Structure formats: C-alpha cells, structure tokens
Chains A and B, each alone.
Chain A
Amino acid sequence: MEPVAAGAMSPFQAGVFSLVVYTVLVVLFIASQLFLAVWLGEKKKSVEKSRPYECGIVPTGSARFRYPVPFYLVAIFFLIFDVEGAFILTWAVVYREVGFAGYLQMSFFILLLLAGLLYIWKQGGLDWKEALNRADC
C-alpha cells in the first residue's frame, strides 16, 4: 500500500473534546425541549379526551384488526423502482468511462425492469381493488 501523499488529507487534530461538548449540548437541548413540552401547561385527563375522535360519535369495535392495505403494495413497488433509479443515476455520472459495454449492460438492466413492471401491471398489482382482493394483506 502506498503512503498517502502529504496534503491529500487534512492533518489530524485532537477534536474529540469539541465533539463531546457538541453532543452533550444537543442532547441537553433536545431533552429540555421534550421536558418543557411535557411539563409546561395544564393537563386534564378524562375519558372523553382519551377516546378516539370519530366525528363526535363513540367508535364501534376495536381498531386492532387486519386492515387491508392496498397502498402497501403500491408503496413497495415504488420503493423497488426508486432504488433502481439510484443505479441508473450513478451510471449517468460515469457514462463516458464505462463506454459502450456499460451502455449495453444498463439497457439490459432497464429492459429487465420494464419486464418486471409489465408483469406487475398484468398481474393487477397496480390496480387498487384487484390488489385488495388477491393480496389479502
């Protein structure tokens, strides 16, 4: 391993003390804010106040049940395609360096993504009600 050339990195200094002070200050500040928010002001507890708000009516049944979340699927799909965006953007930065081979590889990658999208589409994964019925999530 070659030694690092002088001047390539900033010289090391013992900065731990200021970091510690900074950390302590941040922790204290946040703690004080949290404490003040909890402590300041008058609090009155009552049955009505702790009841869930449902347009002024006493809610029926419990809120702990299997709630179908079709949005969950859509959100997951979004996440997957979003992360893949990160690869494509990185490729754009080094577009010249990786050359034609990189271009082919990336095209293949994008085609694969498109195929995946088409598959999801065909399976009804983007359809709200369809997703609700089949996913049983």
Chain B
Amino acid sequence: MERGAQPSRLLSIADTIINWSRKYSLWPMFFGLSCCFVEEAATFTSRYDMARFGAEVMRPSPRQADLLIVSGTVFKKIAPVVLRLYEQMPEPKWVISMGSCANSGGMFDVYSVVQGVDQILPVDVYVPGCPPRPEALLEGLVMLQDKIMATEKPSRKVFHLGGGTQGTDRPVLEIGSTKSRDPRGPGYEGIPVRGTSILPGARHWGSRCDLMWTPGARRIELSEGELGLAAEMRERFGERVRLEPHSSDMPTFQVARDSVKDVLGFLKNESKIRFKRLDDLTAIDESARRDTVWNKGLAEGISDAGAVEALSGRERRSRPDYTVVYQLLSFDTARRVRIKSGLEKEGGAQVKTASITDIWPSANWYEREVFDMFGIRFDGHPNLRRILMPEWWEGHPLRKDYPGRATEMAPYTREDAVRRQPMDAMEVSTMDNKGPEGDREFFLNIGPHHVSTHGLLRCIAGLDGEEIKSLDLEIGYHHRASEKLGERQSWHQYIPYTDRNDYLAGSSLEFSYVTAVETLADIRVPERAQAVRVLLAELYRLSNHLVWMATFAHDLGAMTPNFYTFAEREMILDIIELITGGRLHAEFLRIGGLAADLPEGWEKAVGDLVSIFPRRLREYEKLLRKNPIFLLRTKGIGRISLEEAMDWGVTGPNLRACGLAWDLRKKMPYSGYENYDFEVPTATEGDCYARYLVRVEEMLQSVRIIEQVARNMPSGRYVTDDYRYAIPRRDEMLRDIETLIHHFINVTRGMKIPVGEAYGVTEVPRGEHGYFVVSDGLGSAYRIRVRGPGFANIQTLPIMAAGESIADLISIIGSMDVILPDIDR
C-alpha cells in the first residue's frame, strides 16, 4: 500500500507543477478569420495587455504555439486550412473558439459558412459575443487556465507511463448525435425558419406586403446633360437602347444583349460625357419576380402546381431570366449611368453574353463573380472560372432556387475539411514558365493564414529568388454571402450585416446601405440624424486609419506604433460606445434616421479627442516619416499610374495617392458634407509612401470635420416622422395607435419598400462602398448587391507588385489597406 501510493503522489505533485507552468505560459496562435480578430488583436495591445495573464505575444506560426484561438467565421473554403494549422501544432494543444460564428455560425447561417468550428476540431472554451469584447477573450483565457489546472493530469503522459490527460480531449461534435443543426437551438424542429415565403417554389399564399400601401419609388428628373446623353445614345443605337422612363438614382438604359459591348465602348471612349470607370458589374436572377405569372398565380390562389406551370410558360417572357447590370461613372461630370441587359436561357439552360474585359480590364473579376454566383457565361473572357466559391462547389448561390441556409445543405464535417483542399498553386498561377525546366523559379503561397495579408487573402507568388515574376490572387476565403442574406433578412434586419462587410469601418457601411434604401423609397432624413451619421463615419475613418497605420508599420518591422495608435483608437471606440453602445459593429443607423439620440456627455468626449488627436498623430507619425528604413521600403515601391487606377476602378485613398482629388464627400456630397470645410488630400507618386501620406492627412481632415459637426450639431428629431418606413421612437409609439401599429409592423414582419432599385454609396475609409438594392415590393430586398472597394482595389495588386521583391509585396499590401470582407463579401 505504502509503496503504491508513493509514485502516484509524486506524479500528482508533478501534475501540479507542470499544469502551473503551462497555465502561465500559453502561447496563443491567432487564426484571424474575421471581425473577432480585431478584438483579439486589441487584447494584446496596451489597454488590455494579454501578457498579464501569462499568454505572451501571439504567434503567427503553428509550430510555436499551443493555443489556437479561432476568431471569427469559419468558411467552408478556409476550413481545411484551419484544420491543417491545428494539426501542425505540437502537443499538448488547446482551442478557444472566439465569437458566435466560430461557436455556431452565429448570424451567418448561410451556404458558405461552417456552422461552428467544433464540427471539425475539438474546442475547449467558447467565448460568446459578436464580436466578444477583449475582456471576454481574457475571461475565456482564464477559463482555459482553470480547466488546465483543475482537470488535466499530464505527468503520466510526460513520463510515458501510460494514461493521463493533457490538452484538448473533447470529441469533435457530430451533427445529429452530439450537435443540433437548428440555429435556433433544440426544440424548434416543427417550426419553419423565416423567409421561406418569398422563395420561388415555396407554396405560400400571397404576401401580407400586398395589403400594405406605400407611395411609389422615388423618381428623379434627368438633367440636361443626361437627356443629351440619352439623345446621343438613341441617335447612335436606335431601338437597341431604351431609356427607362423612371429611375430613382441615375439614368438607366435597357440595352439588347448583342449591343452591350458596343454601348459600353461608346460610353467609355466616344460619348460627350466619358464614363471612364466601370463602377460595378453584377446580375439579377429575375425568376422569382412577383409580377411573373408563377407568383401571380399563387397570389390569386392557384395552388395547383400544374396549372401554374401551364400559365407560366406564356407570360413569364415579359421579364428576362437574368439581367446583367453595368454601372459606370464619369469623373469629369460626377455622374453615373446604369446599363441593363436582359438575358434569356438558351439551349441546355445556358445563359451567356459578351465579355467586356477588353474595354475595362477590371471586368475580369466582376464577370468571374457573376459566373460563380449566377452561372452566366461571358464569351471572350480570358479565365472564366469560379472566384468566390471553391472549385468543387456545386450550383450558383445567388440563383433564386439555391438554398441560402447552411442548415438546408449537407453538414460540413471533418472529412470534408480533409478532402476539400484549396487549389494547388500550380493550377491557379498564370506564370508562363511553370515547373522544373525553369529550375530557379518556384511558387510561394503567402496567405491565407499570414500576418501581413490582413485577412484571408491568398497570394500565389511565382518567384525567381526574391523577385516576383508573377502574382495571382485567390480570394473567396472570406465569402460570407452577405448578398444572399439580404434576400431573406427584412430591410431593417440587414443593417447588422452591413457593418460586418467591413469590420473596421462600422457605421460607414450602414450609412451606404440606408442611403440606398432611403433613395429608393424617398425617405427624408432629419438634419440631426444626418450630422450624427457624418460624425460616426468620420470617427470610424479615424479608427480605421489608426489600425491601418499600426499594421502597416508592423508589416515593415516597426512594432512600436501599434501600441500607441491603439490607445487613441480605444479612445475613439469609447466615444462610439458612448453614442451607439457598440464598438466594432455599431448597428446604430436606421432607415430614416438613427436608433437613438446622442447621449449626455458626448460633446465632452468628442472635444477631448479633437483637442489631443492632431498633436498625438504628428508625434506617432514622426516615428515613421523620419525613419530611413520606412522610407526606403515605401518610396518608389508598388507604383500604379493614375490611368491604370481609373481604369481598374480603384477608389478611396489609393486613387487619391495617384493624384486625382476624387472623393465622394466633395464630388457628390451626401448627408450634408457640403456644409463642412475640409480638404481632399492627394499625392502624385502613386506608390506606398504616397498612400501613406494621403491617409495620414485624411485623419487630420477627419478631425476637422468632427470638430465642425460637434460645434454645429443641429437640434431636432433623430429619426424621420414618416413612420411607414422607420421604427418609431418609443415615447411617440406609446402615445397614439397609428404609431403603435407602425411600430408593431416594422419590428415584426418589417416594412415594405416600393418596387424599384437604387444605388447608395458613401466614401468609407477604404473607398467607395455601395449598395445596390432591388425591391420587389416586399418586406425584404429582392436583391442586394454590395460593391466593395476592396474588390476593385486588390485586383491591381499584381500590377503593383510585378518585378518587385517579395519583401516589397508585404509593404504594398500594407499600404493598400485591404480588408477581406469587402473583397469577398
């Protein structure tokens, strides 16, 4: 008895010592997938200082880490990479799942998202929140430490005695047996999920929205110039081009399929107003339109599928099967124009049209996206293959008959994560000289898991030594299906999704979205709400640029700015939190105004920021501008000419760094920007240093705007009194029955937006982020198109990086300020 007890006592002492040591020397590896990572990054900066808890600086490589923090949305395309990184970590290892998406898919129950990382690898601690605050992550870390101390018996494993426990020993969960598939939790099995009533094929009786009356969509008067353009087009193309009689935002032309290319070429190079930029290119699947017979039949009560089918063949021809939408912009006159072209299915249900990649090179990715999402083929496209979805994907997600929810599809399992590997670099690369004959050249994958790609971007560099011979980008690792989500969330419910389309710009994106809806339904926003929107947008611009400055410097080897700029960023986030209650995702704007009025004490908080910010910024900036290494690595590196930038649709500071003072806030003012005195900083070189200068100056201009907004804050309502479209103020809602009814309708099934379409865009920190919303007169959008600035900007990366060295690539990516959710959406 005595002899047996002795070793086990020794072992338990050893257990305690080993556990204690491990507990206070965890080495976390971040796997930054999306929004949550920004909060994770904040956790190791000065205010939160994770090192206090014995978890030092985060590791970028799995070889040096024993704690995997999966922060953010686990996409089906990235899941194999997540699993590989986990497998590559040494024993023992632990996993923290950070944020609702990693825990369960969160608000993204949608085709491209794995509904919880615990389906592919074991998880020790779940940190809830969307995103969790840094404090929550620290709490999760402490929970993990407690778990290590309380439950693990590592010494038997350490000394090879058999038995013992260490690291994660929970099983991977299996759908159906250990995990419920229902996103609402167990117990809802019999209740259908929301949103099915508007999908085609769903046998529902007419929509309640048909009983709701609204005024029609906004109608604009065309200006002289635009009417002139229409006449010019009619003269040139005759019947093949038709000006739509009414539009809500810009002149819209219907063009026959065969003439699209001619018309676009004409508008770019020959017309009186030259439309130099392809703003956006997308498509709409028209098959679920409610004015087609199919749905009319349903509305009239014909529930027999055969009868509806018989009707449908005849009258559905009134609409094309698909519409391709081109949106162009003229820099000289600050005008936009929309070109629409209807496409019919041909034999074998193929839909195709001509590629315009020879008119605008930037159409390359846009057309690939349309092909990926709708299955529309583009004749003459150099490389028409999927771009957002992985190669093995079946179906085209934005077609109306495609299931939107991940929970309607086969569950994603560990086997899928092993089998569905990302494409090999050789297959993706466009490098001419592939393989062993050029025995000095080789491929290097930079990303998707890389500190300097700022998200899930995969660069495939064909290298000769350190020189970049070719660069190909593989995107879509962060495709969160935010366009598909817009088709099932009500108009208001979609607002939180917009924040997440660029998680460093917060309210700026809500701003674009509500602008689009307000344009379409002609909703007037009170002045106070307009001013607060500007205030928030500029605060987020500061916050974004501070993160950019820190990460850019960090990429170039300067760690210090990180710790300083995050301090001011926290100050800004505190103001945002004071006003909105949120940090990254404010979700504060509402259609027609804001969610609430400004709180008490906001002037002082803003005033404090304004008074210290310029001086602090200059101070931090000196760390970089006077640093010879920084200058050597940015000046003359990653150049792009103004011509190219305009042609490729580059927007934001990246465009202004090429010498064009194009800023929507000045050129096409919205929300009262014309009332503020500020300048649009530009630079001429178009290199990394120019982009740096522009952003730094922009911060100072933003502070000027903030100061003016705060000084001249108008009084009055914070939300429109047109309650048909807004969620009423609570005090008014309790006063009369009409408002109460509006409140009830608008927060339950949501309001109806009149039939029509509109584009809303604002200048967000990264450029022009726009929403093209199409309404079919329902409680949710028929189609929402997100025009992210990153998608156009990043497409120029190969041009900037050609011939540079691999180290310069890091500098270039850093200077471009990329963020993946607005590239992949």
- Residue-by-residue, is B32-59 near A (CB-CB < 8 Å gives 1, otherwise 0)? 0000000000000000000000000000
Q: Which residues from chain B contact A70 at a C-beta distance below 8 Å?
A: 465-466
Q: Choose one: A46, A56, A129; the contact of B85 (CB below 8 Å).
A: A56
Q: Which residues from chain B contact A128 at a C-beta distance below 8 Å?
A: 466, 805
Inter-chain contact B439/A68, CB cutoff 8 Å: no
Q: Choose one: A41, A55, A60, A132; the contact of B446 (CB below 8 Å).
A: A55
Task: Give A137's nearest chain B residue, CB to CB.
Answer: B465
Q: Which residues from chain A contact B422 at a C-beta distance below 8 Å?
A: 57-58
Q: Which residues from chain B contact A129 at a C-beta distance below 8 Å?
A: 467
B545 at the interface (CB under 8 A from A): no
User: Size of chain A's interface in residues, with CB distance under 8 A?
Assistant: 28
Inter-chain contact B421/A68, CB cutoff 8 Å: no
A100 at the interface (CB under 8 A from B): no
Take A61-B442, A66-B439, A68-B440 as given contacts and tell me if A56 and B805 are in contact as well, using a CB distance cutoff of 8 Å. no
Inter-chain contact A59/B445, CB cutoff 8 Å: yes
Complex formed: what's the CA distance from A46 to B464 in Å?
32
Task: Give A50's nearest chain B residue, CB to CB.
Answer: B88
B810 at the interface (CB under 8 A from A): no
CB of A47 to closest CB in B, whole Å? 9
Take A53-B62, A54-B444, A57-B458 as given contacts and tell me if A69 and B465 are in contact as well, using a CB distance cutoff of 8 Å. yes
Q: Which residues from chain A contact B188 at a C-beta distance below 8 Å?
A: none
Take A43-B91, A56-B449 as given contacts and tell me if A132 and B467 are in contact as well, using a CB distance cutoff of 8 Å. yes
Complex formed: what's the CA distance from A67 to B464 in Å?
8
Inter-chain contact B91/A56, CB cutoff 8 Å: no
Q: Scan residues 436-480 of chain B and give those whose CB is less than 8 A from a CB of chain A.
A: 436, 439-440, 442-450, 458, 464-467
User: Size of chain B's interface in residues, with CB distance under 8 A?
Assistant: 41
CB of B763 to closest CB in A, whole Å? 33
Inter-chain contact B449/A42, CB cutoff 8 Å: no
Task: Give A48's nearest chain B residue, CB to CB.
Answer: B87
Inter-chain contact A40/B445, CB cutoff 8 Å: no
Q: Choose one: B158, B448, B467, B805; the contact of A57 (CB below 8 Å).
A: B448
B631 at the interface (CB under 8 A from A): no
Q: Which residues from chain A contact B467 at a C-beta distance below 8 Å?
A: 129, 132
Task: Give B441's nearest chain A residue, CB to CB.
Answer: A65
Q: Which residues from chain A contact B436 at a C-beta distance below 8 Å?
A: 61, 65
Complex formed: what's the CA distance from A42 to B22 in Å?
14
Complex formed: what's the CA distance from A69 to B805 in Å?
13
Q: Which residues from chain B contact A96 at a C-beta distance below 8 Å?
A: none
A122 at the interface (CB under 8 A from B): no
Interface centre among A48, A54, A55 (most CB of B within 10 A): A55
Task: Give A52's nearest chain B residue, CB to CB.
Answer: B88
A35 at the interface (CB under 8 A from B): no
CB of A40 to closest CB in B, whole Å? 6
Inter-chain contact A66/B158, CB cutoff 8 Å: no
Complex formed: what's the CA distance from A55 to B440 in Å?
22
Q: Which residues from chain B contact A58 at a C-beta distance below 8 Å?
A: 421-422, 424
CB of B787 to closest CB in A, whole Å? 29
Q: Choose one: B87, B424, B450; the contact of A46 (CB below 8 Å).
A: B87
CB of B78 to closest CB in A, whole Å? 8
Q: Which residues from chain A contact B166 at a C-beta distance below 8 Å?
A: 42
A17 at the interface (CB under 8 A from B): no
Q: Which residues from chain A contact B159 at a C-beta distance below 8 Å?
A: 40
B684 at the interface (CB under 8 A from A): no
Complex formed: what's the CA distance from A70 to B464 in Å?
11
CB of B553 to closest CB in A, whole Å? 22
Q: Which residues from chain B contact A59 at a C-beta distance below 8 Å?
A: 425, 443, 445
Q: Scan residues 56-71 of chain B and give those whose CB is less than 8 A from a CB of chain A.
A: 61-63
Q: Which residues from chain A contact B62 at a C-beta distance below 8 Å?
A: 53
Take A41-B91, A55-B445, A65-B439 as given contacts and tell me if A60 and B425 are in contact as well, using a CB distance cutoff of 8 Å. yes
Q: Scan residues 46-93 of chain A and give those whose CB is less than 8 A from a CB of chain B.
A: 46, 48-49, 51, 53-61, 65-70
- Residue-by-residue, is A87-129 near B (CB-CB < 8 Å gives 1, otherwise 0)? 0000000000000000000000000000000000000000011
Inter-chain contact A57/B465, CB cutoff 8 Å: no
Complex formed: what's the CA distance from A58 to B85 in Å?
11
Inter-chain contact A56/B158, CB cutoff 8 Å: no
CB of A78 to closest CB in B, whole Å? 18
Q: Which residues from chain B contact A49 at a C-beta distance below 8 Å?
A: 87-88, 90
CB of A44 to closest CB in B, whole Å? 5
Q: Choose one: A44, A55, A67, A68; the contact of B91 (CB below 8 Å).
A: A44
Q: Which residues from chain A contact B84 at a C-beta distance below 8 Å?
A: 48, 51, 56
Complex formed: what's the CA distance from A60 to B474 in Å?
15
Inter-chain contact A55/B443, CB cutoff 8 Å: no
B92 at the interface (CB under 8 A from A): yes
Complex formed: what's the CA distance from A70 to B465 in Å?
8
Q: Choose one: B81, B443, B466; the contact of A56 (CB below 8 Å).
A: B81
A39 at the interface (CB under 8 A from B): yes
Complex formed: what's the CA distance from A40 to B155 in Å?
10
Inter-chain contact B157/A42, CB cutoff 8 Å: yes
Query: Can you report 25 A-B residue pairs in the complex whose CB atoms are below 8 A from each other?
Result: A41-B157, A42-B91, A42-B166, A43-B91, A44-B91, A48-B84, A49-B87, A53-B62, A54-B444, A55-B448, A55-B449, A56-B85, A56-B449, A57-B81, A57-B448, A57-B458, A58-B422, A59-B443, A60-B426, A61-B426, A65-B440, A65-B442, A67-B440, A128-B805, A129-B467
Which B positions have Cβ atoms within 8 angstroms of A? 61-63, 81-82, 84-85, 87-88, 90-92, 157-160, 166, 421-422, 424-426, 435-436, 439-440, 442-450, 458, 464-467, 805
Q: Which 5 A-B pairs have the closest CB atoms?
A: A56-B81, A68-B465, A48-B87, A60-B425, A56-B449
Q: A48-B87, A60-B442, A132-B464 are in contact. List 10 more A-B contacts (CB 8 A).
A: A41-B157, A53-B63, A55-B447, A55-B448, A55-B450, A56-B84, A57-B445, A58-B422, A58-B424, A61-B426
